Structure 1
């Protein structure tokens, strides 16, 4: 089996809560007026952080950089800008992870164009090789220890994409072996079968004499 290894890690809700608490502790007594959620990855983290901070105003901005799971998709770009005027406000930009730093950097620049008084940024994870660091982060990951983090809010999407990546005419057992060897990923048989059922129902794969083929 010839492939480039891409280690992954499944993140639990308990870890998410712990990371949110660390970020809030680092923010301390500083008062933000609103939160900018960098969607899609920052949608859930921004709501959790805003809940801890008691912030009701959450606005969204969408950037795109990662296409297929664990595969960068060219240069980051803003696809849905902020529509709210932020003049004079203290703003916290929240995403799930600072990986390359491109998406967060774009989000911060787009936010500054709305005339806020202060812009700070926060992500749960910061990969040290990134082009920039957020003002607040829960954990720093060295470039050598980089992995694909499977967050709870995109778990099913990631599993579907990773299983599709391993669907090259082998059996279910071959795909399970590919997930383990290529991605360090082990999931329950129930979740494995549920994902297969979804892929088959949505015409992403077909099963021919026990062999799994992408459509």
Structure 2
């Protein structure tokens, strides 16, 4: 099965939902102390910023990897920027864990970090320590930073032009 065939459903995450889900995750972390956050770039950047705000964490670093090319998963993981510690006392943040390929790579880099994703799919969820919601494996998650607002023409105007 090709990668584009594996996604039969779409789950669109709004900014409101993302904020709500992040806050619920952070509520369970309020009594823990973290030295800082390591965001998995690019998908983990915005969730990491939201989490840093909620938990009042000022030290935010990144690990930069590439595995997706639009909706296609590449064969390997390219580490564009690594990290110089094992993650002890750090919160590792990504937007989601899908097949686990990226999660395995960053987990190897930061084996002692507390790994958190906002969303998790069954194939990869065991690789993270915590997540907010599970999403079916055949679902493509559309994040708000990948979408834009656009004018939607009223139905009556479309009808007048004969484009029912």
TM-score tier by shorter-chain length is 0.7 to 0.9
Task: Give how far 1:104 is off.
Answer: 1.8
Deviations 1:151-185 (A, max 9, x none): 111225xxxxxxxxxxxxxxxxxxxxxxxxxxxxx
Stretches of structure 2 lacking an aligned partner (at least 5 in a row): 154-164
Aligned residue among 108, 122, 144 for 1:152: 144
Could you tell me which residue of structure 2 aligns to residue 120 of structure 1? 114
Deviations 1:65-106 (A, max 9, x none): 111x22212123322212xx4478511100000001111221
Aligned residue among 136, 139, 152 for 2:133: 139
Look up the SS of the partner of 2:110 in the other structure. Answer: helix
Look up the SS of the partner of 1:32 in the other structure. Answer: coil
Could you tell me which residue of structure 1 aligns to residue 20 of structure 2? 18
Change (3 A) 1:188 1:76: farther
Rounded to whole Å, the distance in 2 between the matches of 1:103 and 1:132 is 13
Confirm or deny: 8 A CA contact 1:24 1:49 kept in the other structure: yes
Q: How many residues align?
A: 148
Look up the SS of the partner of 1:23 in the other structure. Answer: helix
Could you tell me which residue of structure 2 aligns to residue 79 of structure 1? 80
Rounded to whole Å, the distance in 2 between the matches of 1:142 and 1:25 is 25
Could you tell me which residue of structure 2 aligns to residue 58 of structure 1? 60
Confirm or deny: 8 A CA contact 1:43 1:95 kept in the other structure: yes
Stretches of structure 1 lacking an aligned partner (at least 5 in a row): 113-117, 157-186, 191-215
Q: Which structure carries more helix by proportion?
A: 1
Look up the SS of the partner of 1:38 in the other structure. Answer: strand
Task: Give how far 1:19 is off.
Answer: 1.1
Change (3 A) 1:103 1:53: same
